[in-house]
Amino acid sequence: MALINYAAREINCKIVYYGPGLSGKTTNIKYIYEKLTPSIKGKLVSLATEQERTLFFDFLPVDLGTIRGFRTRFHLYTTPGQVFYNASRRLILKGVDGIVFVADSQKDRMEENIESLENMQENLSFYGMKLTEIPFVMQYNKRDLPNIATVEELQEALNPWKVTHFESIATQGKGVFETLKEISLKVLKHLSQRAPT
Tell me the per-residue pLDDT of 148-188, one tens digit each, with 9 for 90 and over. Answer: 999 999 999 999 999 999 999 999 999 999 999 999 999 98
Q: Domain coordinates of the chain in residue numbers? A: 3-192
Which pLDDT score is estimated for 5? 82
**Domain 3-192 is in which class?**
alpha beta
Element (H, E) at 86: helix 86-93
CA distance 173 to 3: 30
Average pLDDT over residues 44-49: 77
Q: Where in 19-170 does DSSP place strands (E)?
A: 45-48, 53-59, 66-67, 70-78, 98-104, 136-141, 165-167
Of residues 110 and 66, more confidence is placed in 110
Nearest to 97 by CA among 66, 129, 126, 125: 129
| pLDDT band at residue 44 under the 50/70/90 scheme | confident
Considering only 81-90, 104-113, 119-128, which range has the smallest mean pLDDT?
Answer: 81-90
CA distance 53 to 61: 26
C-beta contacts of 60-64 below 8 A and 24+ residues apart: 60/10, 61/184, 64/184, 64/185, 64/188
Average pLDDT over residues 30-53: 81
Which pLDDT score is estimated for 144? 98
- Cα 61 from chain centre: 16
Other beta carbons less than 10 A from residue 128's beta carbon: 7
Percent of the chain's residues with pLDDT above 90: 61
